[in-house]
Every structure is written in structure tokens, then in C-alpha cells.
Amino acid sequence: MKGFKILEIYLNFSCNQKCIHCFNGEDFRQANKDLKFSKVASDIFKMRKKGCNWLSLLGGEPTVYPEILKVVSLGKKTGYRRIMTFSNGLKYSDAGFVSDMKSAGLTDTCISVHGDNGELHEAVTGVPGSFNKVMAAIDNLKREKINVMIILVLNALNYRHFPRIVRFFIAKGIRNYMFFALKYQGRMNEGGDSNLAVRLSEAFSKIDEVRKIFAAKRIKFPSILHVPPCILPKYISHLDNYSTRPSTMLTQDGEAAGMEKAHKDLVFKPSCRECVCYAGCSGFDPGYAKIFGDQEFKPLKKV
């Protein structure tokens, strides 16, 4: 991301999948909260003038936004050097749509996966056949030379298979990854599926094995999101929950969307003030602490 200033736009809350850990709650999903194209366009212009050169499109599911091709095309015309979607991948199983997105200016997409087979993936997505569609999507995107990044959210069903899942996608030629811990908001807090909840220390218990796989394949080890440093101190330079640098990410309202934003929904416990990482830490998820308590979050004396 060096040399890039990112604009994030949440285009919609609509989605063609029903993931049981979706962090958009029922109130958001029911309401028609698609941004108007005129608002999206004016934000793209405004933030380009402020120096943003990377456009990230999120939702909901940005590919089901009715004017998605116009948005991507406008991003390209106004000079954004990278244009990325964060997607569940379903729409990209249509080769024609991928070709249209490429022509419009799409350079990158992040695809959320939940396993290396239909059973693990569809236990989360709730859509039969979605795993095969994601596999087709990856092939279509690679054929069009659109960069693919895999997002793997670790949960109670898949964390034991973490190394196997990583090997599977590396064998498919994917070299960019992000690993996420679950967020305990939205569906997870609506009496959602407690079968997915897992302690952070368990979820990442195979991380050393995964790091060896990356090293053996000479693939850059990825970022890990939603995990505070006290859980994975050895991986501190990979944690988005920890930063000593100012954010270079802006929302369409011009708000910095790094640490400053994260601090809004996360919490600390009183002893966090004794932690050497306190100044740069975003805190931990209060929804997680409701289920598992806060004992895992132990102030660090050094890193």
C-alpha cells in the first residue's frame, strides 16, 4: 500500500449471500441503504482531489450494487490507480461480468472464503453451491489478470484446518491473503450462530505452522485483522489492531478510517494502560468479551 491513499466507499447493505457471521445487522440489511450514484460520484471526485488514488468498494456486497460498472469506470477515469472490491465472489463466477469489470477498470478484488470445501464454506454462507462458484470466480479473475486476495475469517469450524486451507489456495496460485478474527456484531449478536464463536488464542493456534508454509513458498506473510497484540505478540507487525503510524485510509466523508475509527467500537480493560502496546492498540471486541471474558487480554511488558 506504499504510495497509496485509500478511499473506502460502502456502496450498499444488500447481499446475495446470508453469512451467519455478517457484521451488518438486521436493521441495516432490511433498510434500503444503497448509496445514490450521484453521492458516490461526488465522493469519488472530491476525494481524488484530496489525493486518494486507491478506491476500495465495500458493502453489503458491492458487486450487486446496480451501478457498479459505472462506479468502477468513474474511478478509472478520475485517476484512481487501483480499484478494488471486497466481495463474496458469487457474481465473479459469471465470466462475462468479470470481463466487464476488467474493462471498466477493476484491478483487484478480495474474496471471502471460509474453507477449502463446500461443507466448510457453505456452513457460513448459507448458499448451496457457493463454494463451486467461488472457485469459478477465482479462475475467471485470474484469467482477466485481476489481482485476487483471499480473506479467511477463522471460526470454530475451520480453524483446525487453517494450514490445509492455506495450502489449498496457494496451490490455486493465490499469493495474497488477509486473516480475520470474527467480529461479534451484526448477525453474531442477533442470536446468530454460536457454533462459530471461538477463542482468539484457539482460532490462531496454528498460525506458526501457517507462517512456515508461507516462508517455504516465499510468500509474504499477510495482515491479521481484529486481533490485539497481546494475543499474537510475535506477529505484531502484521496486526491491523496495532499501529504507531497515522492512517492513510479515508472514508467518503473524509474521515480517517484506521486506528481512529477502530477505537470507536473496541474497548480496553483498566489494566490495558499498563501494556507497552497501549498507545498503538485498537483494543478488543466487547461482543467477544461478553462470550469469552477478557482474561486473554493480558498487558504486555515488552514486544
Q: Return the residue of 277, 285, 287, 292 that touches ligand SF4, per CB under 6 A.
A: 277
Q: For the sheet with 176-181, list strands across it.
A: 223-225, 176-181, 147-154, 108-113, 82-87, 54-58, 6-10, 249-251
Task: Return the number of other C-beta atoms located less than 10 Å from residue 205's C-beta.
Answer: 15
Q: Return the residue of 127, 268, 289, 291 that touches ligand SF4, per CB under 6 A.
A: 268
Stretch that binds ligand SF4, among 21-29, 182-190, 205-213, 225-233 (CB under 6 A): 225-233
Does 62 engage in binding with ligand SF4 (CB under 6 A)?
Answer: no
Does 299 engage in binding with ligand SF4 (CB under 6 A)?
Answer: yes
Does 235 engage in binding with ligand SF4 (CB under 6 A)?
Answer: no
3-state secondary structure at position 24: coil
Among candidate residues 209, 196, 198, 282, the one with its CA nearest the CA of residue 239: 282
Q: How far is the CB of 279 from ligand SF4 (least distance, A)?
A: 9
Does 228 engage in binding with ligand SF4 (CB under 6 A)?
Answer: yes
- 25 upstream amide cis, omega within 30 of 0: no
Does 278 engage in binding with ligand SF4 (CB under 6 A)?
Answer: yes
Grid cell locating 100: 466487464
Among candidate residues 137, 173, 167, 139, the one with its CA nearest the CA of residue 152: 167
Grid cell locating 162: 487453517
Report the sign of the C-alpha dihedral through residues 94, 97, 102, 105, in that order: negative
CA distance 151 to 84: 13
Does 281 engage in binding with ligand SF4 (CB under 6 A)?
Answer: yes
**Number of chain positions touching ligand SF4 (CB under 6 A):** 15
DSSP state of 217: T
Does 262 engage in binding with ligand SF4 (CB under 6 A)?
Answer: no
CA distance 26 to 188: 11
Q: How far is the CB of 185 from ligand SF4 (least distance, A)?
A: 17
Does 284 engage in binding with ligand SF4 (CB under 6 A)?
Answer: yes
Q: Which residue type does 202 have?
A: E
Nearer residue to ligand SF4 within complex by CB, 49 or 264:
264
Q: How far is the CB of 286 from ligand SF4 (least distance, A)?
A: 12
Does 151 engage in binding with ligand SF4 (CB under 6 A)?
Answer: no
Does 230 engage in binding with ligand SF4 (CB under 6 A)?
Answer: yes
C-alpha distances (whole Å) from 183 to each of 130, 197, 251, 286 are 22, 10, 20, 10
Q: Return the residue of 98, 137, 151, 275 that touches ligand SF4, per CB under 6 A.
A: 275
Nearer residue to ligand SF4 within complex by CB, 54 or 284:
284
**Interaction site with ligand SF4 (CB under 6 A):** 228-230, 268, 272, 275, 277-278, 281, 283-284, 297-300
